A = this chain, B = another copy of it.
């Protein structure tokens, strides 16, 4: 199972990725694999001496420049690697002469790339060359390259040329204009500038030789400053050449050319630089490492993915983010996608939050571009670019050009339609805030970002007058196989709704805590109260196609009506389903490029908000997973599937998907790693380890693990940073433990976590009725029934209404009509009418409509680790609790859609308990209606009745309402009540 690729081209050691042979056919893939970097820049693993068709690349984050037709791209910078060794006139190159031995290794712990080659020149001389390089993590402007040369079987002249190549190219395009170059006592320097963005860059280079007397020369060929050393080498004696380089751009300093020269002049030697570099790596791994025991390959592969994220992450710059292909290649032209906030950000949020903050600030700084985009499309607020570069303006190419010159270009619609990006960014910001408690950031940056994108959503939704609902039409959801006629994408709509919910919250929070800032934003973003109440209206009425009976969510409107597909019919295959079916073909079938509804469920997992729910997960997994092109669709898919499979207890599936994701770059399982590192997949790996295999859940008391380790793993160790505290996890998989559910021991060594309130009652869950308990929707129901009764000339009053507490809609109606003759159709129409009146009236429900004491009690219960369910007969329960702002506090919802038989049948409460994973006797029902109490008793649960004894006297505990009620008091009362019935038996 844990060995999906039987033979690997690599040798895996804890911290070492070793390439034992060079395969020219894998040239570009290996260049990606052996990328090094320091967060400031990334340099692909090309050879110092060059190779035919090689693609040398050094990308400095933030150095963008425009390119005809394709907007703007991350610029390939002057190459600092060229080091040519000429042995008695023969230039060392691996495609000529004879390679006698070869080994390349990437040391992840030290951030060091090295290569050992023994080579026989065409002239018959044998030499051993040992190359080593690093981009200093201790000082981002310093690069170092070392070459040790040992003649094996000759004495002779050797010439070494170390150059800065000022003619780098982005797939042929050179963004640089030469400005100047020169030499100093320390070496040579080059000064260049990008064509359009006018970013100036300077590199300086100086070499030292040891082990021999050498003459040095400077060559001033335009654009290619070169230091040449010539010496007489002696058989068996090693000569060491060290080339130290500095690099600056006008993004950091006023005069890069001065900075590069001064820095070069002040550098210590290679070994001291290496030592500082190693120390910096130590610190990084201290925070961000994940230890796996029992599977060396998994250990290395996971660390490799984290390494690639660490070398791409900006440490000293908050105006850049991490491009989709990191800084390791030209794929997607260095553009930034949702990959950062959704896939990569958690790794940094929970292990190096300062980097996470930099990444989020990039979005904050690019709000002007997002506003320009919104304005262009005719919307308000900020609409983030699907692909973003330096300014935040949309840079997704409009067209993909086919190879056939007569075929029409293919329009890329993501720029116009893949609008969920704005919610994704708000999502990343929200959870950064939740995890760090960084209120200052939320005040200064986050709030504006979340609120102005909420303004966008308000302008983007449409009101469907016929269906009386808000809609978002013509989008692309997470699943990019569907790009036409996608209306009311569940992913997009729910994310937008969620976004507006959080925006409401953030605004209120800001008003409470920083009223000046709130007023400022209110003014600049024009957040009138009318507009905010429109947000609430949208939250309440945004359409999501969800069938509560089956739990199935429809990916978008009418998705279930399009042609179905059996992916097994297409196996075996090595191409994506879109390649096989064509763009239109995939668009017309129920085949997904990547998780979409499942992605949504995953995103709501942390807060357990709708639609995260075990039943919904199961139903949608069973439906969507088999229809998802998880092998050749998006590389974003496998990690997410791995986590959900973990949740579902399918360790095998989780493990398979983990391997698929973790090897995507090292072993090039999708054949496109040559274009750069799959950053989102790498970030997903961290999430698989922590949320999936680690099963970490973030509670108000901090993160708690529920591990599901792959069987052969004996240990999984990592730590999380949560609200200024480190939480260390050391999860062990004890072999031969029969009970797989509990075979992972959670060793929570977090000293800072709050002591849990003792729960002496044995109560594990609370099930709350809604109407009359948490809110007074009973009043709304009463008015709706009254209106209906009046129209139908039926006798009805407040007193008659009392009899309807806790009674289903149909039963209520039957009570009202009594034995008057109505047909089923008439009854149905009347129920619809009443519901319509009711739904109409509850649009205005707000958190202030929570009954006194309800929120406080719910919070106390959650803090105590008690699970909470809603148990309401209402079919509108979900929108109501969402409007009340307590959906977050519910672990599950049992509502009018959940069961057939109404209260007083016990079904609804039994359903709720089952959803909570509890036995009935672990649950307490809080009810205000006689039928409800009766149902709870029938379910053999403890009961709390709210209201007059006349109505709820059958309950174990009777209270007037929840005001001033605390968990400690209740516990005592319930303990007493519990003892009582026990003693009665």
Binding site for B on A (CB under 8 A): 50, 52-53, 67-71, 82, 84, 86, 91, 161, 163, 165, 167, 169, 171-175, 177-179, 195, 219-224, 226, 372-373, 376, 393-395, 398-399, 401, 405-406, 408-409
9 other contacts beyond A68-B171, A174-B174, A398-B409, with CB at 8 A cut-off? A50-B222, A53-B177, A69-B399, A82-B222, A165-B222, A167-B167, A167-B223, A173-B173, A395-B405
**Given A69-B70, A84-B222, A394-B406: A172 touches B171 (CB 8 Å cut-off):** no
**CA A53 – CA B406 in complex, angstroms?**
36
| CB of A492 to closest CB in B, whole Å | 22
**Given A82-B222, A167-B223: A406 touches B376 (CB 8 Å cut-off):** yes
For A403, give the chain B residue with the smallest CB separation. Answer: B66
**Given A69-B70, A222-B163, A395-B405: A195 touches B179 (CB 8 Å cut-off):** no
Inter-subunit contact B177/A175 (CB<8 Å): no
Inter-subunit contact B401/A68 (CB<8 Å): yes
Q: Name the one of B50, B70, B86, B372 contacting A406, with C-beta atoms under 8 angstroms.
A: B372
Q: Which residues of B sit under 8 angstroms from A401, Cβ to Cβ?
A: 68-69
| CB of A635 to closest CB in B, whole Å | 23
Inter-subunit contact A161/B84 (CB<8 Å): no
User: Can you name 22 A-B residue pairings with CB atoms under 8 Å?
Assistant: A50-B178, A50-B222, A52-B177, A52-B179, A67-B172, A68-B172, A68-B401, A69-B70, A69-B399, A69-B401, A82-B222, A86-B220, A91-B220, A167-B174, A172-B173, A173-B174, A219-B221, A221-B221, A221-B224, A222-B224, A224-B224, A376-B406
Q: Which residues of B sit under 8 angstroms from A178, Cβ to Cβ?
A: 50, 52
Q: Which residues of B sit under 8 angstroms from A161, Cβ to Cβ?
A: 220-221
**CA A977 – CA B53 in complex, angstroms?**
89
| CB of A589 to closest CB in B, whole Å | 28
Q: Which residues of B sit under 8 angstroms from A223, Cβ to Cβ?
A: 167, 224
**CA A979 – CA B108 in complex, angstroms?**
115
**CA A84 – CA B222 in complex, angstroms?**
9
**CA A70 – CA B70 in complex, angstroms?**
11
| CB of A124 to closest CB in B, whole Å | 19
For A193, give the chain B residue with the smallest CB separation. Answer: B52
Most buried by B among A50, A173, A221, A226: A221
**Given A69-B69, A69-B399, A222-B163: A195 touches B172 (CB 8 Å cut-off):** yes
Most buried by B among A67, A172, A219, A395: A172
For A181, give the chain B residue with the smallest CB separation. Answer: B91
For A53, give the chain B residue with the smallest CB separation. Answer: B177
| CB of A48 to closest CB in B, whole Å | 11
**CA A52 – CA B406 in complex, angstroms?**
39
Q: Can you list the 8 inter-chain pairs with the closest CB atoms, starting with the nearest? A: A167-B167, A376-B406, A69-B69, A221-B221, A172-B173, A173-B173, A221-B224, A219-B219
Q: Which residues of B sit under 8 angstroms from A172, Cβ to Cβ?
A: 67-68, 173-175, 195
| CB of A412 to closest CB in B, whole Å | 12
Q: Which residues of B sit under 8 angstroms from A177, Cβ to Cβ?
A: 52-53
Q: Name the one of B52, B53, B221, B373 contacting A226, with C-beta atoms under 8 angstroms.
A: B221
Inter-subunit contact B405/A394 (CB<8 Å): yes
Q: Which residues of B sit under 8 angstroms from A86, Cβ to Cβ?
A: 220
**CA A604 – CA B224 in complex, angstroms?**
58
Q: Which residues of B sit under 8 angstroms from A220, Cβ to Cβ?
A: 84, 86, 91, 161
**CA A399 – CA B401 in complex, angstroms?**
11
**Given A405-B71, A405-B394: A169 touches B174 (CB 8 Å cut-off):** yes
**CA A171 – CA B409 in complex, angstroms?**
23
Q: Which residues of B sit under 8 angstroms from A50, Cβ to Cβ?
A: 178, 222
| CB of A228 to closest CB in B, whole Å | 8
Q: Which residues of B sit under 8 angstroms from A226, Cβ to Cβ?
A: 219, 221
Q: Name the one of B52, B167, B221, B399 contacting A409, with C-beta atoms under 8 angstroms.
A: B399
For A408, give the chain B residue with the smallest CB separation. Answer: B398
| CB of A67 to closest CB in B, whole Å | 7
Q: Which residues of B sit under 8 angstroms from A71, Cβ to Cβ?
A: 405
**CA A561 – CA B892 in complex, angstroms?**
71
**Given A177-B53, A222-B82: A373 touches B406 (CB 8 Å cut-off):** yes
| CB of A376 to closest CB in B, whole Å | 4
For A49, give the chain B residue with the smallest CB separation. Answer: B222
| CB of A713 to closest CB in B, whole Å | 45
For A393, give the chain B residue with the smallest CB separation. Answer: B405
Q: Which residues of B sit under 8 angstroms from A409, Cβ to Cβ?
A: 398-399
**CA A71 – CA B372 in complex, angstroms?**
32
| CB of A74 to closest CB in B, whole Å | 15
| CB of A91 to closest CB in B, whole Å | 7
| CB of A371 to closest CB in B, whole Å | 12
**CA A179 – CA B172 in complex, angstroms?**
15
| CB of A947 to closest CB in B, whole Å | 60
Q: Which residues of B sit under 8 angstroms from A372, Cβ to Cβ?
A: 406
**CA A68 – CA B399 in complex, angstroms?**
11
**CA A221 – CA B195 in complex, angstroms?**
24
Q: Which residues of B sit under 8 angstroms from A82, Cβ to Cβ?
A: 222
For A375, give the chain B residue with the smallest CB separation. Answer: B406
**CA A408 – CA B376 in complex, angstroms?**
11
| CB of A90 to closest CB in B, whole Å | 11
For A71, give the chain B residue with the smallest CB separation. Answer: B405
**CA A91 – CA B225 in complex, angstroms?**
14
